[in-house]
Structure 1
Amino acid sequence: MIRIATIRTAFLLSLLFIGGSCKEFVDINTDPNNPTTPVLELLLPATQLSMAGSLRDVNQGTSILVQHLYTSTTSRNFQDGTDYQQSWNSLYTQMLNDVDIIIREGTRLQRWDYVAIAKLEKAYVYSMMVDLWGDIPYSDASQGLTVSDPTFESGAAIYDKLFVLIDEALADANKGAFAIQPTTADIIYKGDKNAWIRMANSLKLKLFNQIRLVQPEKARAGINALLTANAPLITTNAQDFSFRFGTTETPANRHPWHRAEYQASKSYYMSQNFIERLFNTDDPRIRYYFFRQTSNYTVGFTPTGNGYFGRYTGDATASPNDNALKATFGVYPAGGLYDNSPINNLTAAQTFITNTGATGAPKVVTNLDGSGAGVFPFITNAMVKFILAEAALTMGTTGDARQLFQDGITAHLNSVNTISTTGGNSAPTLPAATVTAFVANRSSQYDAADAAGKLNAVMTQKYIALYGNGMESYNDYRRTGLPVLPAPIAPLNTFPLRLTYSVTELATNVNVSGKADQLQTAQQTTPVFWDK
């Protein structure tokens, strides 16, 4: 049995390293033979790999919807039932199936450490699925193959169950020894009990804030209860709940954005809207987020002529042969190159984007450039700070919103520095003095704003910091409408309030197959339960 489990997990792990396709994000597409007796230390890392891999397509699509990236159809608000089918199918058949196996087997063996981690992964993934799709299978889906046609449950009902599940996980974590061996079986936190407890409380915080428009009293009371009890939250960048990628090309375990773009063919344009937001607001992260392959490109899409060649959202123009010209991903979050080339058209008002020390030159990137050692940030210290700031401003929860706003910006700038200098990446860090001055600059804008402007400042800085996690930015945008995003140039539809269901699910599940078209159409215009 152990040999079967070892082969199975080796297969799963290999999928992290087998790369090349622009669509790959730790591809987990199949579920090989389940061992009769599951081996928990082999199943746990498989769930974490498949969690990162299965969220690939939805992260890509939502990043485009919130104008962090561009592709021709999604940026025009078009979606169909195949766009997110791989994410949906992989989450249910692989990641969540394995998590439930760990919970059942871990409970039988009284291995509460594994059970606690599995329940928290389950709560996180299901919460994201509710956020993205709304009503989904939940209770029946946990029955594995015994239920072939799982019932769809309301997102609100599932959220209620997830709060209970998180509390169960916290209780499980304190039952007996928390001794994951080897610690590498836990890819994310290396078996650190306290780290998982912080993650659990931070997830609860995020979910409470998510429901503040429809259940304000529950949201306010829940957040204040966490703060009053001094429940451990993610409070440093080292405690981030995130997935880190490696540096090897063969076998390939690099960040999927690096694998997609650091080659001759490319899948994306950078969002011109996002580029110009950073450039026009003098944000030094522009050199870390984007790498220019040319110094001056003025035809069509880049009026500044500074080499930041992307596309505006909703641009329906056909793509010319411009793979060697368009800007691409930088060192954060994809593990690409840091842009150290001079920038044309800087103004005297720009004090954080400068050409001081800019001695590099643009180049056409290849897979030999950068390391690919990027990050998929799930719940981070910066996110927690911005959530607390939003809650303080909108619900009057405990906390100094201004200080939390400052701490969120600082935390993210330091995250950029960390990714820029570890895991094989080589980029200059933002000096401490620059970080301090930039935070002070944004704080002065915050101070000058009215109440609505202060919330806009918080959500704008969070939006910029969420580059690499379009799912959370998509959640924030639907909940707050902030920051205001430019309308697509040539939209094909209204902005989607939910993602499309898997066509396979709609075609094969008898509970929904008779109304598949109606359900799919409604996904575009029906808000999730917490969106008001």
Structure 2
Amino acid sequence: MRFITTIRSLSLLGLLLVAGSCKDFVDINADPNNPTTPVLELLLPATQVSMTGSLRDVNQGTSILMQQLYTSNTSRNFQDGTDYQQSWNALYTQVLNDIEIVIREGTRQQRWDYVAIAKLQKAYIYSIMVDLWGDIPYTDASQGLSISDPVFESGSSIYDKLFTLLDEALADANKGNFAIQPTTADIIYKGDKAAWLRMGNTLKLKLFNQIRLVQPDKAKAGISALLSANAPLITTNAQDFSFRFGTTETPANRHPWHRTEYQASKSYYMSQNFMERLFTTDDPRLRFYVYRQTSNYTVGFTPTGNGYFGRYTGDATASPNDNALKATVGVYPAGGLYDNSPINNLTASNVFITNTGATSAPKVVTNTDGSGAGVFPFITNAMVKFILAEAALTLGTTGDAKQLFQDGITASLNSINTISTTSGNSATPLATATITAFVANRTAQYDAADAAGKLSAVITQKYIALYGNGMEAYNDYRRTGLPVLPAPIAPLNTFPLRLSYSVTELSTNANVSDKADQIQTAQQITPVFWDK
């Protein structure tokens, strides 16, 4: 990573501004990156902020690939070496480098609480990077900026090292006092040791499930060991491993989707495929996920006539001047507006999407609409329930797959209620009776399905619940082929099995620069090691 030395002096704020494509979401005035004596209380929260910002572009891209958002080129399966360059560069130069400082300095001071948290974050970030890119630098990169040309290692070997790292982190958490002070030095869990132990075990669970196709025995043994030992896992929504954004425009700490979409110009369309999936299956999450700026728009590619105006995947039609017409992100996860306007075309078959109490009118959104206090859901209770349901169905691990399926949907709906009614957000929450009835409806579909259909139901509901985290939906789709997604209208390439590498990395790293073109081309068609 020879390029690192040329940008290392950038402040955290500067990197986040770049990573946000000129739409920064958090302002940090202090630069803890090159302190004379590292201050753990400043550096740890900086890693959490920059982790969230650095994942922005890859989360956006995978959300488009998974037909939840839309931009023209990405939805047509086209990618190049600049698409995810900001995420790649910032993860290595900012986040992971600072995490190594926390680990090193925390070890020197025997502050095992900081060391444990840093190692858990390190394991999470590297696991995501393997999932998205496959082979990446790991051992050399963990030595900081002293190695300019880090060796790329196989994703499978890195996963093995991450399991070891997770065990180290969990052991470190039990060394000495776990006393993060002030608690604001840990933005995510406020210094809660039990929460971090749950996160570590849950990450192990996720990684074991991720490898079930290629290492089924290891996956089953690992999951079974966690369950039989009653290892603490994320079991409630309050325990989610997530990043909650703030409400202020200056300093900028709103959800990045709110910052790009709640203004006159917009970066995305909503995926027409996703909106129609929710609409046609009578899914009440539609009003929370999507906000309509008009009640009726029927031009060209939007035949519904109810204001759910987006773009179908792969639509290469030029964009007209339609920013004030197209549907946009809603109150979940972006902290935007809740859509409480009447919907055309509803029929008697609509039980959960209804016009009862819908008394508002659509409006053209501005940056004064909504709070922006959204969430980036990294690993959630809903995800855990669906993972355990998948494992029970496919590996025979303990647990009632049907009950876990029900619990996953319930957790998703309750999480939407929580985000939608706190921190300045305003929405009509889903009533308990509505949640119960909706879960019962989906359970009836689950009961009527065969074994393959039950797995499809689990992954499809997980996919809908994952709105806001395209990375995990992309992982699941490549592993399982679920849910079934429509083919792009005018694809430019095959569906990418890995994301493109940073062109700067490929051109400056002597270990790969002589074969950069071949490596980049292979990313499109080469499965990640766990994708059988």
The residue aligned with 1:243 is 243
Q: 1:101 to 1:36 in 2, by over 3 A?
A: same
Q: In the aligned structure 1, how far is the partner of 2:301 from the partner of 2:26?
A: 32
**Is 1:200 the equivalent of 2:200?**
yes
Aligned to 1:56: 56
Residue type at the aligned position of 2:299: V
Question: Given that residues 17 and 253 in structure 1 are in contact (C-alpha distance below 8 angstroms), is that contact kept between their aligned partners in structure 2?
Answer: no
Deviation at 1:31, TM superposition (A): 7.8
Judge conservation of contact 1:27–1:54 (CA < 8 Å) in 2.
no
* Counterpart Cα distance in 2 of 1:477 and 1:24: 30
Change in CA separation of 1:494 and 1:15 when aligned onto 2, cut-off 3 Å: closer
Deviation at 1:14, TM superposition (A): 8.6
Partner AA of 2:120 in structure 1: L
Q: TM-score, normalised by structure 1?
A: 0.96
Matched-pair contact (CA < 8 Å) for 2:19–2:54: no
- In 2, Cα distance between equivalents of 1:449 and 1:158: 37
Distance (Å, rounded) in 1 between the aligned partners of 2:355 and 2:493: 41
Q: What is the RMSD of the two structures over their aligned residues, measured on CA atoms?
A: 1.9
- The answer for the alignment partner of 1:468 in structure 2 is 468
1:99–1:118: 8 Å Cα contact kept in structure 2?
yes
TM-score relative to the length of structure 2: 0.96
Moved over 3 A (4+): 8-28, 30-33
Q: 1:347: Cα distance to partner?
A: 1.3
Distance in 2 between residues matched to 1:19 and 1:155, nearest whole Å: 25
State the AA in 2 paired with 1:454: K
Aligned to 2:3: none
One-letter identity of the residue aligned with 1:324 = A
Residue type of the alignment partner of 2:163: F
What's 2:298 paired with? 298
Match of 2:42 in 1: 42
Tell me the CA shift for residue 398 of structure 1: 0.7
Structure 1: gaps (5+ residues): 1-7
How many residues align? The count is 524
Shift of 1:321: 0.2
Quote the residue 1:530 is aligned against: 530
How far off is 1:22 after superposition?
A: 6.0
The answer as to 2:359 corresponding to 1:394 is no
- Structure 2 distance, partners of 1:311, 1:254, is 25
Q: Which whole-Å deviations, capped at 9, do the CAs of 1:411-443 have from their partners, x for residues lacking one?
A: 010000001100100111000000000000000
Question: C-alpha distance in 1, partners of 2:120/2:334?
Answer: 26
State the Cα distance separating 1:145 from its structure 2 match: 2.2
Compared CA separation, residues 97 and 279, structure 1 to 2 (3 A): same
Find out whether 1:369 has 2:365 as its counterpart. Answer: no
1:9 CA displacement: 13
Read off the aligned partner of 2:468 and give its amino acid letter: G
| CA distance in 1: counterparts of 2:332 and 2:302, whole angstroms | 22
1: CA distance, partners of 2:149 / 2:62:
28
Report SS of the residue matched to 2:72.
coil
User: Structure 2 CA distance, aligned partners of 1:18 and 1:420?
Assistant: 29
Over 3 Å counting, the alpha-carbon distance change for 1:9 and 1:379 in structure 2 is farther
Within 5 A, what are the aligned runs for 1:110-121? 110-121=110-121
The Cα shift of 1:249 comes to 1.2
Q: Is the 8 A contact 1:20 1:259 kept in 2?
A: no
SS of residue paired to 2:282: coil
Q: Which residue of 2 aligns with 1:425?
A: 425
Q: Percent identity?
A: 86
Contact 2:25-2:253 within 8 A present in 1 as well = no
| SS at 1:37 equivalent | coil
Structure 2 distance, partners of 1:506, 1:95, is 20
Task: Output the CA distance in 2 between the equivalents of 1:380 and 1:9.
Answer: 35
Aligned equivalents of 1:508 and 1:277: distance in 2? 44
Contact 1:294 1:307 in 2 (8 A): yes
Deviation at 1:301, TM superposition (A): 1.9
**1:513 corresponding residue in structure 2:** 513
Task: Name the CA shift for 1:337/1:243 in 2 (closer, same or farther; >3 Å).
Answer: same
Alignment partner, residue 279 of structure 1 = 279
Q: Relative to structure 1, is the Cα distance of residues 16 and 186 closer, same or farther in structure 2, using a 3 angstrom cutoff? A: farther
Q: 1:335 to 1:17 in 2, by over 3 A?
A: farther
State the alpha-carbon separation in 2 of the partners of residues 72 and 267 from structure 1: 11
1:213 aligned partner: 213
Q: Deviations over 1:195-251 (max 9, x none)?
A: 000000000000000000000000000000000000000000000000000001122
Which residue of the partner structure matches residue 4 of structure 2?
none
For 2:478 and 2:391, how far apart are their aligned partners in 1?
16
